[in-house]
Amino acid sequence: MKKIIISVLFSILIILVGCNKKLDETLYDTQTFGSITTTADVLKVIQGTYGILEDVSLYKKELLKLLLLTGDDFTTTSNEYQPYSQKVYDPTSPSIAQSYQSYYSIINNCNYLLSKIPSIKTTSGTDSTLKAREEGEIRFFRAFAYFDLVRLFGEVPIRTVPTNINTNFYIARSKVDSVYALIFSDLKIAATNLPYKSTFDGIGFTNKGATQALQSLAYLTYGNYLDNNGRTAKAAFTTADSCATVVIKSGGYSLFSNYADLWNVDNESTAYGTEVIFGIRFTRDNIVSGGSALGSQLPQLFMPSNMGGVTGNPVKNALGAYGSGSGNYRVQPWFYNYCLSGDYVNDYRGDVTFITSWAKTPGSGTKYVSFPAIPSTKTDTVPFQTPFIKKYIDSKGLDAANHENDFFFLRLPEVYLIRAEAENEMYAGPSGAPNALKDINVLRKRARNANLISPRLTPLDVPSGLSQNDFRKKIFDERGLEFIGEGKRWFDLVRMKGPDGTGTMYQYQFSDYIPNQVPIGLPVYDKVAKTWSEGLIDATTVVPYDSKYLLFPIPQAERDLNSKLTQNKGWGQ
């Protein structure tokens, strides 16, 4: 899908002229999208709105720093990325500001289109249906933007009318309840107006199934918010359960039989409408390169810097091989161990997800290895202390930031786990819940099927008889392995209750589990003993728990422009 770049912010043009020159100009008081009079005009702006999600300021790069590095499962050695992994970001951090501003660009696009939709005349039944569908898409995206904003920043200003010179720019942040009320209202209309699957726009566009899946996640998250604040949450969990059930029972989606096939970039067209419900679409761009290209940067960000043939990077690495990554996202060793121990010993998803050894050059018998792999020959080299993620590979990429790999925002496995989690909260445990155990175990069954040729005995099904707290932890762990590298972990850490039913998983991980059970420091390879020893986590990422990290700070640039914007607790005044 080609992006149509549409500016939704005002531009102030300052022209310096000599004191004796006269300046004549016409000033316009509103943003200009061109003439919006037909459904075709609306569709163009909607396509531009999709494009904002794919921009470098959001899911192509900057937003991912927030989602991937501020949790407990990734680290980095990049100076650009370390402020987020080391939690020294602040209200002036650029990635936070860019993400915040881009979401409001989406919102302003949507508000402008919603103001125009009523006046658009339709000339046929098909045109009328398209008009309704377009309103559904618009409301989906406004809800999407506010959902990410409220999860990232908590209270945020609600704007529902397009920005112009008469707009009141100085509005305060709205309560979290009010933001969710708007999200739910928009999603309800979107679910009514949209077809179950897109039939004429191509894959990747939103539809009723994506809307209902987003409803289930939004209601679950709102239920967590209510519960964590000592408020009644059963109605929210019940609605999350109902929405998830509609998606599961629709018959419109199914799991890939082989988990590995999901991550084969050549299978993306098949993935949509089977397992992938909604994704941020990227495509190799033959016209524009780099950060402005329509392609994704995911392979370059995740793959090792000395592994050739896995990205479109045109620069040779030290061995003269093209197509290496930057390895900016590196798996914390403790998390790798955790994902392959306990319930997950020999879990096929671990084979598919992680990479710890690779050939130095194509066809070479020697290799590079990282923790916890052991060199098998004298010529093997150990350059890294951390494993990597291999979900995102595209040897056909056109440059380092121009790949086909999409960012899967909602997959069917998440809907299963949403329903399992909602029912665990509704029934105070999985016992008596109609679907909770079945839903988590369907994912484990897929994992046991492995590559369909050599099935495995693990992971075993989650047994009955678990307490509510124990089952909640099982869901948390399942999500950790199933969705690593997909931007879910930080959201799960800050919304889910801790293992004892108090606090949050974030508080538990950073105040209890990591300080007390994870050896601090990265592992070191002993060439003589051929063993790894010492730590299992990058020490620079082990920061004492502080509740301020449950939300990101409101960007200072926004507060400078709007005196009514208050700051989140702990981030200054």
Rounded Cα gap, residues 462 and 229, in angstroms: 29
Does residue 402 lie in a domain region?
Answer: no
In a domain, 498, yes or no: no
427: buried, middle or exposed (CB in 10 Å: 19+, 13-18, 0-12)?
middle
Within 8 A by CB and 6+ apart from 534, the residues are 519, 521, 522, 523, 524
| Strand-strand pairing, 521-526 and 407-411 | unpaired
Which tokens is 334 given?
A: 């403790």
Neighbouring-strand partners of residue 384:
370
CA pair distance 331, 361, nearest whole angstrom: 23
Question: For residues 357 and 371, what is the distance between their CA atoms, to the nearest angstrom?
Answer: 9
Cα gap 378→524, rounded to integer Å: 18
Query: What pTM does this model have?
Result: 0.92
The DSSP 8-state label assigned to residue 360 in this structure reads: S
Which domain CATH number covers 90? 1.25.40.390
364 located within any domain: no
Greatest CA separation found in the chain? 86
Amino acid at 371: F
Per the domain annotation, does 342 fall within a domain?
A: no
Residue 112 domain-assigned (yes or no)? yes
Amino acid identity, position 125: G
CB 32 within 8 A of CB 10: no
The predicted structure's pLDDT at residue 319: 65
Whether a cis peptide bond, with omega within 30° of 0, leads into 372 is yes
Tell whether 407 is covered by a domain: no
CA–CA distance, 533 with 554 (Å, rounded to integer): 41
327: region left, alpha or beta (phi > 0 left; psi from -120 to 50 alpha)? left
CA distances from 491 to 70, 220, 487, 513 (A): 10, 12, 8, 18
Has residue 135 been placed in a domain?
yes
Reduced DSSP (H G I as helix, E B as strand, rest coil) percent helix, strand, coil of the chain, to 5 = 45, 10, 45
Phi, psi of 481 (to 5 degrees): -80, -50
Distance (Å, whole) CA 164 – CA 446? 52
The helix or strand, by DSSP H or E, that contains position 381, with its residue range, turns out to be: strand 381-384
Quote the distance between the C-alpha of residue 492 and its chain's center: 11
Joined tokens for residue 192: 């009514």
Given this model, what pLDDT does residue 363 score? 74
- Kindly state the helix (H) or strand (E) to which residue 134 belongs, with its residue range: helix 125-153
- N-to-C CA span, the chain: 42
Instruction: Specify the 3-state DSSP secondary structure of 64.
Output: helix
- Residue bearing tokens 């991912």: 64
Q: What is the mean pLDDT of each run of 10 residues along the chain (573 residues)?
A: 35 28 34 72 88 95 98 98 98 98 96 93 83 94 98 97 82 97 98 77 74 98 98 98 97 96 95 92 95 96 94 80 92 98 97 95 84 93 96 96 97 98 98 97 98 97 98 98 98 97 97 97 96 96 97 97 96 88
The number of residues making up the chain comes to 573
| C-alpha distances in Å from residue 134, one per residue of 199, 272, 349 | 13, 20, 38
Distance CA 205, CA 49 (A): 11
In a domain, 80, yes or no: yes
Dist CA 115 CA 179 (whole Å): 20
pLDDT of residue 321: 72
Position 34 scores a pLDDT of 59
Evaluate whether 505 touches 539 at the Cβ level (below 8 Å).
no
Q: What is the pLDDT of residues 403-422, one digit of tens each?
A: 999 999 999 999 999 999 99
Res 11: pLDDT: 30
> Phi, psi (5° rounding) for residue 210?
-65, -40
Residues 460, 497: contact at Cβ < 8 Å? no
CA 316 – CA 319 distance, rounded (Å)? 7
Residue 373 near residue 284 (C-beta atoms within 8 A): no
Give the residue numbers spanning the domain of 105: 1-171
Reported as a single tens digit per residue, the pLDDT across 429-453 is 999 999 999 999 999 999 999 999 9
Q: Which residue has the tokens 């061995």?
A: 319
- For helices 176-193 and 208-228, what crossing angle results, to 10°? 160
Query: How many domains does the chain fold into?
Result: 1
